[in-house]
Structure 1
Amino acid sequence: MKRFSATLPLYFFLIVVYSALSQNKNAVILNAFSDRIFNGKGYQPVTSLKWKYKTGGKIFSSPIAQNGIVYIGSEDGFLYAIEEKSGNLKWKFKTNGAIHSSPSIFENIIYFGSFDGNYYAINTQNGKLIWKFKTGGEHWLGELGMWGMKPETQYMEDLWDFYLSSPVVYENRKTSQVLFGSSDGNIYSLDAKTGILKWKFKTNGPVHGSPVIDKDKIYIGGWDATLYALNIESGKEIWRFATGTQMGFKGIQSSVALSDGKIYFGAREPFFFALGAETGKQIWKYNAENSWILSSAVVKDNTVYVGTSDTYALLALDAKTGIEKYRFKANGYVYSSPAIAGNTIYFGDFTGNFFCLDLLSNGKKSNFISTENRKQFATSTLKNDLLDFGYAAQNEDLSIYDNNKKVMAQFYKLGAIVSSPFISKNAVYFGSADGYLYAYNLKK
């Protein structure tokens, strides 16, 4: 399956963040992807639909839930606060751009970014603005004649650049900071209460990945294909690790996972890496078979779980060696970063399927639900129920950029899931390109 030439395959997705605090309603800090392991028992697949809430745009943001409220951003420019029990709107906050950033919460403040160029701090109770910080501008990655597509004089946005950086919050006895990357190439640290700039660090390209916190460091990568380790107090570089820069295979969109002194992450260079957290030295790398890895990993019981693009897989890799234990085949690109509760791992794919896989079955036991849009459009869009770019193009010339946009629009109609799931009170929440925030009950 090819995008527009014989040399460049298809792919994409998002991000992940770390915090030492557990995710529960009493936690002081809740970062969007902080700890992807939630409370749960045994194998708990989804059962019935609890509710779904329709926004006015596609959802690329990932939800978080705290104190009975689920928060999520939409491409319609609103951040939504939805009641967990009922699915009713509590409040919504309007920005002047699409919200592809996922939120974080510190005390009674929720933080997120918008394509209007601002990062916001909002009161979680009433949705009122506390402060906003203007970056040098937020935008999708793009260039003239991207990857040789036609016409070469046309400015083309990267159709696979889904996310803005999601802020994370750090606190010690002296200070609280909110940290995020920006399309202007900087990594920012602001005072969490006031929004005043503490420091910024300049990279060599837009930064749409999300930072991960570990002790006195943050780890973050960007479109310059480099992963950075920075001192969280000063913003000084500790080390950097460069990934590949070939055309079509350049950039880091995922966030890292941390376990036992190691960092795990994937890149558009079709490899998944394990580095030493202190040194940034490579321990091993996994060949992803010309498949981008945009999904951010989760680690449990010496196994790293991560999604792939063109191989449509959720991989289970040995955390020490990088050897593949098994793979679970989905129906399309897996850009949704997985979440684990009990013995179940949850993730979505680009065809609108949401999977629940029993971790004790080595990929053999699973179930899934589909978006209503997928049920409606699968027959006309998918080939043998699988994503196929060429099939969906219906013989259109994929060397032409606008034809690629048309195919992507068809895929989005399926209810593509690139939002990452959040689990709270025996329910799982995720967003979809069909504009819905879904809440599904889990088996008790």
Structure 2
Amino acid sequence: MRDLWRRPALLHKFKTFSQRLTQPAVMIAALILVLGNPSAAVPHSSSVNLTSLGSPQNAPEGGAPTPNPVPTPPPVQQPVPVELISASATDWPMYRHNPNHTGNNASAVLVNQSTAGDLRESWRRNVGGLVTSSAALVGESVFIGSHDMSLYSLNSKTGAIKWAFRTSGTVESSPAFSAGDGTNPSRVFFTSSDRSLYAVNAATGKLLWRKADDYSVSSPVVSNGSRYADSRLYVGTKSGKLNAYDFDGNLVWSYATEGEIEASPTLARVQGSDVVIVGSSDTYVYCILAGARTPQLAWRVKTGGKVSSTAAFSDNLVFVGSSDSYMYALNAVTGAQHWKYQTQGPITSSPAVQEAEAGGYAQVYFGSQDGSVYAVRSDTGAQIWSTPFVGPIISSPALGGEVLYIGASKGVFALNASSGTHLWSAPLSRTVNSSPSLSQDMLVVGSADSNVYCFRIPSLAPVSAQPEALGSVPPPTTQGK
């Protein structure tokens, strides 16, 4: 190296080369040489992402590096369509028709006292096990449970099975339907004797969620924010708890009674507050303030027996039966007894309530295990009429306009709501403990003969409706685990 300083020509060439390093073209060439050996240019402790700089090794011979292609942006995620089932005011979306459990579909007026005699079987569907569940009728769907451990969705025009969801226990309770929105699908809630509460997609039958907590025969009731403060689901358990859930299956609160809850909870607005009313086998009727995160007892009233009848709420009165043979009318604000009416047998049937005309009184209809169906005044409890049947009445009456429908021993019947006289009947091979459900032009009921029956007036029936003979039950398409 010392020889370099002794030879002026070589020293001149070295200085010239050093000066050229500052020129742009030479700097670019030097940068390429450095990138060709990146490990010599970047310390190991650096976090530089080398992949963003390109790959000069891939450059064509004698050419510039080939840049990486511009990355393709990820596709825009489109919202997944939500399955919805259209509902209308003429439907019967839950047990006893509405959250007040009045058992009265005022829109079901196409069948009246003059035309009830023209009702005919439109279709029947064998569901593989006796049916004590009552149907929810929504649009062109019939949702109903069976002792074959499944919940079914049937086509309301033909009775064809749309889907079946199998549980691990009998489905004795009645399903409750909730309309969806742009985010959530339409849902059906129900309980099973496998000790579970289920939520399934109403359109597809796919499981949305399941909660295990000693559930069995209590039918869920749903509220929505348009009428009540919160959208919630209420249901009772065999261990005596009244549970409140949001529609995603999160437990909001739980209230413990001292007996089993077989009845469906009833919702009401009392003096501006949301309340839940339910009976228990501990002989009490409970009224619980429902709006808070913690349940609060508003009142409870003792009867003389087990209460498995579902209460009906109308005009600030609560109507509920007891196994002590009485039908009670209670003040919804205080729980004070307004009146009680005695039959000759336990009352497990749930009452139906006719809307009162201006200045008049409503009529309350119910069955008794003494074998009779009764109509009494809502204001005094005075009897208006009673109609005897053969065998105990377990089924709960359904009111459509001026016609009252009831299941009884080996058949379903239509009565004149004003007088109790027979208008029509459909003899069946087994007892009907299921409660009738009504839409505008359709009567649906289940039977202990394992069939679900649909009755219509032929002139009002859809063109595609054809009676279907008994047959084997197709296997369920969806299973709960």
User: 3-state DSSP class of the match of 1:30?
Assistant: coil
Is it true that 1:321 corresponds to 2:380 in the alignment? yes
Q: Alpha-carbon deviation of 1:56?
A: 1.2
Q: Which residue number in structure 1 is paired with residue 131 of structure 2?
A: 59
Distance 1:30 1:56 in 2: 23
Q: Which residue number in structure 2 is paired with residue 309 of structure 1?
A: 369
Distance 2:447 2:288 in 1: 33
- Give CA-to-partner distance per residue, 1:334-382, whole Å, 9 cap, x none: 1111111121000111x2121101123x1234221111x2xxxxxxxxx
- The TM-score normalised by the length of structure 1 is 0.75
Q: Alpha-carbon deviation of 1:267?
A: 0.6
Q: Alpha-carbon deviation of 1:29?
A: 9.7
Q: Which residue number in structure 2 is paired with residue 25 of structure 1?
A: 88
Distance 1:24 1:358 in 2: 29
Q: Which residue number in structure 2 is paired with residue 367 of structure 1?
A: 424
Which has a greater percent of strand?
Answer: 1
Q: Which residue number in structure 1 is paired with residue 224 of structure 2?
A: 171
Where do residues 202-241 of structure 1 align in structure 2 (5 Å cutoff)? 202-215=256-269, 216-234=274-292, 235-241=295-301
2:437 to 422, 425, 428: 422
Closer, same or farther: CA 282–423 of 1 in aligned 2, 3 Å = same
Contact 2:411 2:426 survives alignment (8 Å)? yes
Closer, same or farther: CA 78–366 of 1 in aligned 2, 3 Å = same
Letter matched to residue 290 of structure 2:
I
User: 3-state DSSP class of the match of 1:366?
Assistant: strand
Mean Cα displacement is larger for which, 170-179 or 417-426? 170-179
Q: Which residue number in structure 1 is paired with residue 208 of structure 2?
A: 130
1:37 to 104, 111, 115: 104
- Give CA-to-partner distance per residue, 1:219-257, whole Å, 9 cap, x none: 00111111100011232111001111xxxxx31111111
User: 3-state DSSP class of the match of 2:258?
Assistant: coil
Q: Alpha-carbon deviation of 1:171?
A: 2.3
Is it true that 1:120 corresponds to 2:195 in the alignment? no
Distance 1:359 1:183 in 2: 35
Q: Alpha-carbon deviation of 1:206?
A: 1.1
Closer, same or farther: CA 29–121 of 1 in aligned 2, 3 Å = farther
User: 3-state DSSP class of the match of 2:119?
Assistant: strand
Contact 1:61 1:431 survives alignment (8 Å)? yes
Distance 2:235 2:199 in 1: 13
Pick 1 or 2: higher relative contact order, CA cutoff 8 A, min separation 6.
Answer: 1
Distance 1:31 1:237 in 2: 25
Where do residues 10-159 of structure 1 align in structure 2 (5 Å cutoff)? 25=88, 30-33=93-96, 34=98, 35-38=102-105, 39=107, 40-41=109-110, 42-43=112-113, 44-45=115-116, 47-107=119-179, 108-135=186-213, 137-138=214-215
Which structure has the larger Rg over C-alpha atoms?
Answer: 2
Q: Which residue number in structure 1 is paired with residue 306 of structure 2?
A: 251
Closer, same or farther: CA 276–418 of 1 in aligned 2, 3 Å = same
Contact 1:29 1:169 survives alignment (8 Å)? no
Q: Alpha-carbon deviation of 1:138?
A: 4.0
Q: Which residue number in structure 1 is paired with residue 446 of structure 2?
A: 431
Percent identical:
29
Q: Alpha-carbon deviation of 1:26?
A: 6.1
User: 3-state DSSP class of the match of 2:444?
Assistant: strand
1:200 to 230, 250, 254: 254
- Give CA-to-partner distance per residue, 1:129-178, whole Å, 9 cap, x none: 0001110x246xxxxxxxxxxxxxxxxxxxxxxxx110011222764211
Aligned length: 345
Distance 1:95 1:217 in 2: 31
Closer, same or farther: CA 24–320 of 1 in aligned 2, 3 Å = farther
Distance 2:299 2:92 in 1: 27
Contact 2:397 2:405 survives alignment (8 Å)? yes
Distance 1:101 1:262 in 2: 25
Distance 1:420 1:364 in 2: 19
Distance 1:238 1:429 in 2: 36
Letter matched to residue 319 of structure 2:
Y
Distance 1:313 1:205 in 2: 28
Which 5+ residue runs of structure 2 have no aligned equivalent?
1-85, 180-185, 357-361, 461-481
Q: Which residue number in structure 2 is paired with residue 408 of structure 1?
A: none
Closer, same or farther: CA 314–62 of 1 in aligned 2, 3 Å = same
Contact 2:196 2:212 survives alignment (8 Å)? yes
Q: Which residue number in structure 2 is paired with residue 297 of structure 1?
A: 351
Closer, same or farther: CA 425–259 of 1 in aligned 2, 3 Å = closer
Contact 2:405 2:413 survives alignment (8 Å)? yes
Q: Which residue number in structure 1 is paired with residue 407 of structure 2?
A: 348
Contact 2:375 2:384 survives alignment (8 Å)? yes
Letter matched to residue 236 of structure 2:
G
Letter matched to residue 424 of structure 1:
S
- The TM-score normalised by the length of structure 2 is 0.69
